[in-house]
Amino acid sequence: MTRRRFLAALAALAPKPNLVLIISDDLGYADLPAFGKSEIPTPHLDRLAQTGVVFPQAYSTAPICVPSRMGINTGRYHQRLGVYDNMYQPEELPLFAFAGPTLAEHLKKQGYATGLVGKWHLSANRFPPIGPTPEKRGFDEWVGIEGGMSSYFPPARLYRNNQPFEAPEYLTDFFGKEAVRFIGENRRRPFFLYLGFNAPHAPLEAMDGDKTGGESSSPDRRTYAGMVRAMDRNVGRVLSALRECGLERNTLVAYVNDNGGGGNHTPAHTRNTGRNAPLRGFKFDLFEGGIRVPMMMRWPARIPGGRRFDGVVSSMDIAPTFVKAAGGELPVERPFDGVDLLPYLRGEKKDQPHPVLCWQNRAWLGPRGAQRPGGNKYHRAIRKGRWKLVQLADRKDWELFDLQSDVGEQHDLAAEYPEIVRDLEAEFERWRAQMPGPVKLP
């Protein structure tokens, strides 16, 4: 028996790992020390970074909430469902119902207890929920907000297994306590916890004791910092609960932000002062500031920690990584577009997880800070190796950037390298031909 087969046999005998997925909402890329310079203290996410693996080149599938969360939950390009934006129109609402199995559905079949705490946002931005709510997509229980916008203070409206109730306390703390409850109640069986914070998405609301920042910080930035601190505190509660239950070593924890930070230049309903520097752009953009996201993983029993993985990865990779960690097989029908990252993190694979990634999303157009959905106009982008090609909806020409030397996408090289533009455009069109067209809006 080879060493690899021997180790695989041992792994098969080991107890199934617990799986925890933590998602933040609109956090600025630079607002965690592992990814940039920030004045906001985040000791618990710092500890996750220091003991796990940090992915400095991680991407979401979209620069906006609903499609990015579809990518996370299905492990597939959301364009395969015909989804290119948040779902607002009645004809768009059923699309997620026809998706392949979600991560929760895969894990439930493998005997996992499945629980969702926090933001779902895959049943439209409406109350009561419309479309497939979490218990129809693999979750044994869920508590949280269904849509994308919510106040953080009581009486914020929540649902517990489709029954509405009022939040008893500041929302982020309530979500942290519910997550700890789920861990405690399921500690004797393998579980999958999906903890979807809505922090630090607007509205800017923080408890006074959490607000922080230097004299140069604006009141909004200090409030944003308080929201991030509250989220970090509750990440700490979850990590402590795993340790106190004796589950820390055999729990795979993944953290990811849903899309780029909101900054001060997005529409008013989503503005939050998040900082993406040195990346260009913000939420809604296909520049790096809209789609490059903080992402980390930790599994002390199986993955060497305290390091960075510099390959190009995607939030779509979380689903296949969790399925394989749980001992499952990757689906043949409706296969994942994401990849299992475990062989890369254990040094068994040396190639790029994603030689190519593509994006196409409905544009939000207009002056900065006053954009509106752009109807049937789309931004497009492709990354291949060091090169990234971007086409804005209101422009005919592509822009070409060398991310290896220009991560801020300041220097358009399309005129200097027309052959690279042609090659990448052709590759993008091959990808695009695999995807169903978006729902046409009035």
Nearest-angstrom CA–CA distance, 73 and 136 = 13
Catalytic choice (65, 78, 106, 354)? 65
Catalytic residue among 121, 201, 354, 379, which? 121
Contact 222, 4 (CB under 8 A): no
Q: Rounded distance, CA 119 to CA 257, Å?
A: 13
Phi-psi region of 285 (alpha: psi -120 to 50; beta: other; left: phi over 0): beta
The SS3 assignment for 400 reads strand
Kindly list the distances between the CA atom of residue 31 and the CA atoms of 65, 108, 257, in Å, as whole numbers in the listed order: 19, 34, 11
Active site residue 65: yes
- Residue 316: strand, helix, or coil: helix
Alpha carbons 375 and 360: distance in angstroms, whole number? 14
Q: Tell me how far the alpha carbon of residue 41 is from its chain's centroid.
A: 21
Q: Is 269 a catalytic residue?
A: no
SS3 string, 369-393, reads CCCEEEEEEEEEEEEECCEEEEECC
Peptide bond into 442 cis (omega under 30): no
Distance CA 356, CA 368 (A): 30
Cβ–Cβ under 8 Å, residues 400 and 412: yes
Two tokens at 84?
A: 């290119």
Q: How far is CA 364 from CA 64, 65, 262, 324, 370, in A?
A: 10, 13, 14, 37, 9
Catalytically active residues, by annotation: 65, 121
